[in-house]
Each structure stands twice: as structure tokens, then as C-alpha cells.
Amino acid sequence: MRSMSIVRETIARIDSGELGALVSLVSLDATEHLPPEHGGYLARNWRRRQEFGGSYLLDKVCHDFDIFGRLARSRPAKVASFGGREIFTTTRAGEYVYSDGQPAYALREAGWSGANDAFHSDMDVTDHQNALVQYANGVRLSFHANSHVALPERRWYVACTDGTLIADLVRNRLMVRRAMDRGKPERIDYGGRTEDSHNGADQAMARDLLASLETGAPFPVTPFESMEAGLTVMAIDEAMALGEMLDCGPMWARYDAARGG
């Protein structure tokens, strides 16, 4: 995600200090809200099983938590999470049809080791999940994911002491306004929207990778930053499984020791 123009601009705006100190990253019903067909695909695809692809968050939103950590410039100190599988269950099974007459939850091939039905599969990952994160420097994050919504949305609401930024990653649009500004907010529309809502991110990442390989240009994210995002998500999943707030200190101590200090 760091290769996307809207993400680069978001990081640059926060780093510049123009909006003041970062207080909270608040994703209100936004970070990963997928339409029914996408959710039904995940309930049938091989990633429905943790043994194959890890948890839902690890599979789908690990890169979001990389960005959150980059914006916060800190590691999570405490995490809590609630979630489960309440959408794609046998009790909700039925013959669903879209308003245009197309059969629901079957428009995409499930692929390797796929299940035949989204509601009767052996899925053991969550289909919705909330997470709360407090970073070591005091920045706080609220995150929500849902794999079955009628109004798909992926948005970062970044509240700072002197201003606010909203990054709408589905519409590829950025909105910024300073706290004391009563005029219209600054809006940047990046265009180039695609059906998968990646909006050119895959191509941008490929260009960054090629530049790194051919010219030695720094890649936007390091392996260690990627691992820290993954560990953050694993801690969130552990907190959900335990049903309690999790202290991340011991995890980071083990990680630093493994890195050699």
C-alpha cells in the first residue's frame, strides 16, 4: 500500500506536521468493508482456513497495519479485539439472488481447494472483527473489518491536534482541513479507480520493486516493518482469542532479541 499515491500523500502530510501531533487513527466502519460477493468468495476460497492462510486480518489487512504503524511512528503497547463468524453460517444459508437476477455468492470461482457453498464451508476465520490499539507513544487506533456490507468502504480517519485527514481508498480521494479553518476542506481526487479498489496499487508496487532492483532505489517498506505489521495483527488475534487486553511488551522483547538487540 505504501506505493499508492494517496498513501504517499497521507504519510507526507502527517510527517510534515502541518496538522499537528497525531492523536488518533480512527477507522469508523471503514478500514476493510467488503461487498457480499467478495466476502462469499473468501468463505469458499482456500484462505477460509487459518492453517492455509492465517487469520482474516493477517490475510487481508496486514498492510493497513503497516501504514498505521508508519503514521504513528511507534509500536503497539496494548491491543484488544472482538470478532467472530456471524455472517457466513449455516443458520443464514439459503438461495440468495441479487436484485438484477444473478445468483449471489457464486460469481467468482473459489479456486484451489475451494468450498462449494459460502454458508456450509469449513471456514474458521472471522467474517467481521474489531480491534483497538494503543501505541507506545500514546497514539490510539480503532479498526473495524466486515466481509459482507451493502455499502463497501475503506477509509482512514486521521485526527491530529491541529487538523484532520480522511483518506478514502475506495474512491481514491483525500480530504484535509486544519482545525481553525472554517472554509471548504482541501480535496484531492487521484482518479484511476478500478473495480477491485486497488486503484493501480499493484502496478505502482511493481514499479517501485523494479526501481529497487535496477537502480538500488529504496523500496517503500522494509522487511522489518512488514514483520512488525504481521506481529501486530497476530497480537490482535491473540487478544481476541483470549478475550482480554494484551500487553505487547513481551512480544517486542522477543522480537528485538531475535533481531540481535
pLDDT at 2: 82
What per-residue confidence (pLDDT) applies to 126? 96
Vertex 94 angle, CA 49 and 114, to 5° = 30
Q: Residue 115: which of 58, 50, 42 has the closest Cα?
A: 42
Residue 172, pLDDT above cutoff 50: yes
The residue among 205 and 184 whose pLDDT is bigger is: 184
% of the chain surpassing 70 pLDDT:
96
What residues does 22 pair with on adjacent strands? 160
Question: Who wins on pLDDT, 23 or 79?
Answer: 79
Beta bridge partners, 128, equal 84, 146
**How many of the other CB atoms lie within 10 Å of CB of 33?**
23
pLDDT at 155 over 50: yes
| Contact call for residues 58 and 126 (beta carbons, < 8 A) | no
206: number of Cβ within 10 Å: 11
pLDDT digits (tens, 9 = 90+) for 41-71: 999 999 999 999 899 999 999 999 999 999 9
Q: Where are the domains of the chain?
A: 5-255
Chosen CATH of 5-255 out of 3.30.360.10, 2.40.37.10, 3.30.230.70, 3.30.450.40: 3.30.360.10
pTM for the model stands at 0.90
